[in-house]
Every structure is written in C-alpha cells, then in structure tokens.
C-alpha cells in the first residue's frame, strides 16, 4: 500500500513515469492521476470501480487501510454474506445436536444387546457386565462431553454473528458511507479471525460424526472367565455431510446511483425498484413531484418520466413490457420498454392498489 504522504499514480509508475496521484481506486488499490482517472472511468472493466479523492483516502484510519482484502488461502477477494455464514453454523449445530441423539440411541441399543448376551451366560456375567457397562458409560460421557462443548462454542459464535448482522444492518440504514466503509473493514478482520477459530473447532473430535457400537466376544459362551472381556466399546468417526470449511467473506459496494439531484424542499418517496433485463435500474418515486426514475447500468441518471402519473408498484412482464401501479389514479398502466417508454394500455380498477407483482401471466395486486 502506498505511503499516505506520497502516493503516486500506479499506471504511470508502471510505465516508469513519476506522477502524483489525485484519486484512489479502492478496487485496484492504487493511485490515479487525473489523466489515468479519465481512462479508468471510461474502460468497461473498471468504470464501476469505487473512486475517491486522494485527500479523502488519506483521512482514513491507517488500521483500516492495512486490512488484507484477499484470502490468503485462495488469493481471491473477500465477499460478505453473513446469512450464508449463519446457515453454515446452523447446519453444523444441527449435525452435532443430531449426533447427540444418535449416540444416546447407540448407548441404549448396546445395553439391550448386552442384556441379551447375559441371558446365555447368566451365572458368570455379573462381573463382566458391570465392567462393560462402566466402559460404555465412560466412553459415552467422554465423547458426549466433547460434542456438547464444541456445539456450545459454535452456538456462541452464531449468537455473536447474529448480533453483528443486526448491528451492520442498522449501521447501513443510519450511518454515512464513510462510517459504513470503516465498519466493513473492521468487520472483515473480525470475520477472518472468527473463521479461523471455527475451522479449528471443526478439526476437534467433538465435530466428527461419532457412533458407539458393541462387538460381542464370539468365544464367550465356550470359555467364560473373569479374565475374558464381554466385548469392546468403540467409536467410529467420520466427517459430517456438510461444508468442511466456513468461507471468509467481506462486503463490496458495486455502484451508487448518481446524477439525480433532489432539493431540500422536494419530497421524494421511493416505493419500488426493479432491474430491467438490459440491466438499467428503474425506481418508482411516489413523492409530491413523483415519476419514474431511470438509471443506466453504471448507476448514472438517464431520465425522469412524469407523464404517466405518480407510480407506486412495478412489475416486469417480459423483455419489452412492464406494469406500473398508480394508486391516486386507481389504475395500472402497461408500458412498452425501449429507448422511449410508451403506454400500451390502462387497466382501470375499482380497488385500492399499491404493490403489484407479475406471476404466471397474471398481475397480482396488493
């Protein structure tokens, strides 16, 4: 990472030209001069990268800037998906909990089998039965304790992760982009360390599939004595049929919508958002000066359409048509998509309508 006191343009430096950077690309993690910044934002593969002024970059905490953005194991960018982490932990906890039931069942089955064997050697079974039942109780307790301990640790990490998810969602709703960025950097470091701890737990005996089984002594009936064992209690282990590792992930902002200005007096109410098949982004503004807002794939504002009324709900019908609800007009309009949106038909409804959806050739009104 470049020094905060002197950051040079990466592309220029690659060409052996020393040029001071005016911008910083958080995806490429290198500085850009004004000329290279223009090329960077024009090239299709890099135009959606997050760019900040070099002054803003220098104000970020050094501790946050030093966070590793790539996985040491796979040499790939981290991706954040806390819900997937929760699902993985839920699966591991369920496997461990189910295993507790299995070995409890195994314990009872073994005791039943031991009792059946005892019928044949009732007179000499006392000492041997006491010993073998003590063995199964001891081994059962030992391995059950390991499973309970590991499941408990996983449950604690799941609870902590759930709280982190709630905190992150609240921060995303209320905090500025700068605070969200710093929080994401810290969260990535915490998730990396926690993932290593979880993977370490998965290697413990408590997270292997453990079953108890009993092998009766075949020679018992012919040669029973106090020195002969009634059988052996053993444990078979194998990996759970689940993910062997927890993926370490992070969050990355793909793009922001830009180019549409709203005054302080203007009331804007985004009631619906939909991505069209050509990857343009359409928003329904139900505010006082509402209309249909259209943004390009790169997030730049294209146009605002007010001629149809104040929209509320949107539903994509196919690659050339969409339905839009207009509660104040009491109708749903079918619009033709293209370089210019046009009205195909109006469906006047004598019902309250807000949100709409399209499924199986039907428009569903809520």
The CATH number assigned to the domain holding 285 equals 2.120.10.30
Residues 126 and 208 in one domain: yes
* C-alpha 155, offset from chain centre: 18
Q: Does residue 252 belong to any structural domain of this protein?
A: no
Contact 237, 139 (CB under 8 A): no
Question: Cα(191)–Cα(248) distance, rounded to whole angstroms?
Answer: 7
Provide the Cα torsion 168, 172, 173, 177; round to 10°. 150
Q: Does residue 90 belong to any structural domain of this protein?
A: yes
Residue 304 gets the label, from left (phi > 0), alpha (psi -120 to 50) or beta, of: beta
Residues 114 and 229 in one domain: yes
pLDDT of residue 222: 65
Residues 182 and 331 in one domain: no
pLDDT of residue 324: 94
Count of structural domains, the chain: 3
Which of 209, 213, 270 is closest to 244 using CA atoms?
209
Residues 159 and 205 in one domain: yes
Question: Cα(169)–Cα(184) distance, rounded to whole angstroms?
Answer: 11
pLDDT of residue 68: 52
pLDDT of residue 289: 85
Mention every residue, 6+ apart, whose C-beta is less than 8 A from residue 194: 157, 160, 161
For 187-208, the DSSP string reads: HHHHHHHHHHHHHHHHTSGGGE
Q: Does residue 70 belong to any structural domain of this protein?
A: no
Question: Cα(156)–Cα(87) distance, rounded to whole angstroms?
Answer: 14
pLDDT of residue 3: 46
- Which ranges constitute the DSSP H helices of 203-229? none
CA atoms within 13 A on the CB side of 305: 18
Q: Across the chain, where does the E strand assignment appear? A: 23-25, 30-32, 51-53, 208-216, 231-239, 270-275, 281-285, 291-295, 301-305, 314-316, 321-326, 331-336, 342-348, 356-359, 362-365
Question: Cα(326)–Cα(286) distance, rounded to whole angstroms?
Answer: 9
Residues 127 and 275 in one domain: no
The CATH number assigned to the domain holding 41 equals 3.30.160
Provide the Cα torsion 144, 150, 154, 155; round to 10°. 40
Entry pTM: 0.35
Q: Does residue 77 belong to any structural domain of this protein?
A: no
Looking at residue 281, the DSSP 8-state letter turns out to be: E
Residues 39 and 154 in one domain: no
pLDDT tens sequence for the chain (366 residues): 444 467 899 999 999 999 999 999 988 889 999 999 999 999 988 888 888 888 878 766 344 444 455 555 555 555 555 667 778 888 888 888 989 999 999 999 988 888 887 777 676 767 877 898 899 899 899 888 888 888 888 888 788 888 877 877 787 777 777 777 787 777 778 778 877 877 887 777 777 788 888 888 777 656 656 666 767 878 877 776 655 444 444 445 566 777 777 776 777 888 899 989 888 999 999 988 889 999 988 888 889 999 999 999 999 998 889 999 999 889 999 999 988 899 999 999 888 888 898 887 888 888
pLDDT of residue 262: 72
Domain extent for 313: 270-365
pLDDT of residue 63: 41
Question: Cα(256)–Cα(154) distance, rounded to whole angstroms?
Answer: 36
Residues 184 and 92 in one domain: yes
Q: Does residue 339 belong to any structural domain of this protein?
A: yes
pLDDT of residue 122: 77
Question: Cα(294)–Cα(271) distance, rounded to whole angstroms?
Answer: 14
Contact 186, 194 (CB under 8 A): no
Question: Cα(111)–Cα(99) distance, rounded to whole angstroms?
Answer: 18
Question: Cα(53)–Cα(22) distance, rounded to whole angstroms?
Answer: 6
Q: For the chain, how big is the Rg over CA atoms in Å?
A: 32
Residues 38 and 86 in one domain: no
Residues 190 and 114 in one domain: yes
Which of 140, 141, 138, 115 is closest to 128 using CA atoms?
115
Residues 19 and 103 in one domain: no
Residues 90 and 235 in one domain: yes
Going edge to edge, which strands form the sheet with 291-295?
Answer: 270-275, 281-285, 291-295, 301-305
Residues 92 and 208 in one domain: yes
Question: Cα(9)–Cα(232) distance, rounded to whole angstroms?
Answer: 71
Q: Does residue 290 belong to any structural domain of this protein?
A: yes
Q: Does residue 219 belong to any structural domain of this protein?
A: yes
Q: Does residue 256 belong to any structural domain of this protein?
A: no
Question: Cα(283)–Cα(314) distance, rounded to whole angstroms?
Answer: 8
pLDDT of residue 241: 60
- H or E stretch including 140? helix 125-174
């Amino acid at each position: 990472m470049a020094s905060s006191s002197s950051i040079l343009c990466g592309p220029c430096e690659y060409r052996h030209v020393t040029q001071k950077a005016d911008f910083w690309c958080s995806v490429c993690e290198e500085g850009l001069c004004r000329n290279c910044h223009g090329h960077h934002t024009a090239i299709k593969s890099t135009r959606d990268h997050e760019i900040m002024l070099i002054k803003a970059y220098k104000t970020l905490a050094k501790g946050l800037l030093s966070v590793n953005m790539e996985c040491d194991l796979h040499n790939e960018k981290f991706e954040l998906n806390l819900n997937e982490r929760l699902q993985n932990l839920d699966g591991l906890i369920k496997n461990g909990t189910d295993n507790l039931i299995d070995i409890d069942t195994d314990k009872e089955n073994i005791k039943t089998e031991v009792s059946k064997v005892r019928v044949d050697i009732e007179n000499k079974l006392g000492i041997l039965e006491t010993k073998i039942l003590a063995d199964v109780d001891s081994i059962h307790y030992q391995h059950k304790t390991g499973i309970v301990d590991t499941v408990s640790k996983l449950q604690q990490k799941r609870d902590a992760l759930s709280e982190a998810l709630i905190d992150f969602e609240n921060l995303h709703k209320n905090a500025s982009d700068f605070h969200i960025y710093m929080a994401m950097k810290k969260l990535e470091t915490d998730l990396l360390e926690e993932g290593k701890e979880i993977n370490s737990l998965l290697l413990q005996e408590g997270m292997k599939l453990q079953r108890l089984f009993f092998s009766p002594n075949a020679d018992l009936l012919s040669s029973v004595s106090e020195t002969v064992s009634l059988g052996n209690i053993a444990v078979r282990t194998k990996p759970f049929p689940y993910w062997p590792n927890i993926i370490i992930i992070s969050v990355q902002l793909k793009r922001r919508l830009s180019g549409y200005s709203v005054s302080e007096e203007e009331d804007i109410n985004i009631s619906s958002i939909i991505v069209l098949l050509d990857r343009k982004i359409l928003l329904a503004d139900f505010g006082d000066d509402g209309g249909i807002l259209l943004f390009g794939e790169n997030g730049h504002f294209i146009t605002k359409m007010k001629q149809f009324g104040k929209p509320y709900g949107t539903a994509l019908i196919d690659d050339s048509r969409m339905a839009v609800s207009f509660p104040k007009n009491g109708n749903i309009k079918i619009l033709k998509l293209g370089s210019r949106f046009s009205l195909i038909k109006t469906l006047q409804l004598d019902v309250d309508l807000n949100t709409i959806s399209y499924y199986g050739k039907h428009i569903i009104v809520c």
